Amino acid sequence: MRSSFLTIVFLVGWVCCCCPQGLAAGKEIYIITVSDAIGPGVADFVEKSIEKASTDDVACIIIQLDTPGGLAESMRVIVKAIFASRVPVVVYVSPSGARAASAGVMITMAADIAAMAPGTNIGAAHPVGTGGKEIDGAMSEKVINDMAAQVKSIAERKGRNARWAERAVRESVSVTETEALKENIVDIVAADLDELIQKIDGRMVAGKGVLKTAETRSVFLKENLRTKILKTISDPNIAYVLMMIGLAGLYFELSHPGAIFPGVIGGISLVLAFFAFQTLPVNYAGILLIILSLVFFIIEMKVTSYGLLSFAGILSLLLGSIMLFEGQAGIRLSWRVLLPTIGFVSGFFVVVAGLVFRSQISRPKTGSAGMVGQIGVAKTDIRGEGRVFVRGELWKAVSTQTIRAGQKVRVRNVDNLVLEVEPLEQG
């Protein structure tokens, strides 16, 4: 009896110890496609997909990758998700003609299994600054050293060519799939997904067991609505346009109180824009300059500057827009969006400010104030009181001068529907 009990305990312990091997033996393979710059929306999609794969206990998850690079912070989110995954993560640079550049190098080298399709390339991971330009000075050395240390750490953890990885950052080297396989940068070259799944079958993944993919079913995961919205508004061009719409809407509401609709649209657009800014490399000096331009346009409605404040507003808007994003590879504001938007928004601000200014200096057209200065005809003799005909109506009138019937008069004041008039001088 004691012997049977010990045998059962031994078997339970053996099963528990071998449990990690079973993680790679699921009946499904999850596949996701990343064909865009690495940004917050992409990072969220990849992270959520890896979490789902771990929860559903699938055989592995394959990331089809084609990217020019992107944000370093978004790349780090993806790398951490790959390292934390309970199931094997395969990064497959495909289809033919695709590339894994900049941030894509780190993501590929972080994979449990790295693969490439024929006609693809990997490399050119040198960090860049605003508008894709080189980073100058001490900051350049700091950023490059940080990225080089990170990619070396990733390569060493996965047993890949750390020396080449460092060169990809420092020297922007890039290699084809054949060279990558020869240099121990990737593990497999496969023509398509079917060949890839066939080649990874039976491979040992450290800490995650042996992959069993021969009889698995491929499931393609699609982006949900939340991810699509996040990807859309996280585009710097979309975020910028939303901010401009928001400022224009609020400006119109301030200049024409009670319009409501422009203010509501403007408020919603600003909220979405600032939500996107939280996920983008925003230069807050640019935001302050754009807000300052709005202040200049508002003051233009109150102060006669002969266009100087409008010019200052346009200049501030242009400089703020150029400085708004600290661009990285694939994450920058397009000139084709920037220039037309500035032209349209500046024109809108100037036109509205001009209309408000003209309305302030123009004479009233209606009401009691609108009667002052109007020309009419005396219908009766006015000796203290009488009747006059002004703007198609008969009015009671008073005057300190004697006015004969039929004589033209000018309205000087209105008091309780009684017109104070004077004789119109004949010139």
**141 — pLDDT class (breaks 50, 70, 90):** confident
- CATH numbers and ranges of domains, the chain: 18-227 (3.90.226.10), 235-361 (no CATH), 367-423 (2.40.50.140)
Identify the sign of the CA torsion 315, 317, 319, 322: negative
148-156 CB contacts, 8 Å cutoff, 24+ apart: 150/76, 150/106, 151/105, 151/106, 151/109, 151/125, 154/79, 154/106, 154/109, 154/110, 155/109
Q: What is the pLDDT of residue 14?
A: 46
Radius of gyration of the chain (CA): 36
- Is 142 among the catalytic positions? yes
pTM: 0.65
Catalytic-role residue among 49, 74, 85, 102: 102
More confident residue, 292 or 134: 292
The yes-or-no verdict on residue 23 having pLDDT over 80 is no
Catalytic-role residue among 27, 96, 142, 218: 142
**22 — pLDDT class (breaks 50, 70, 90):** very low
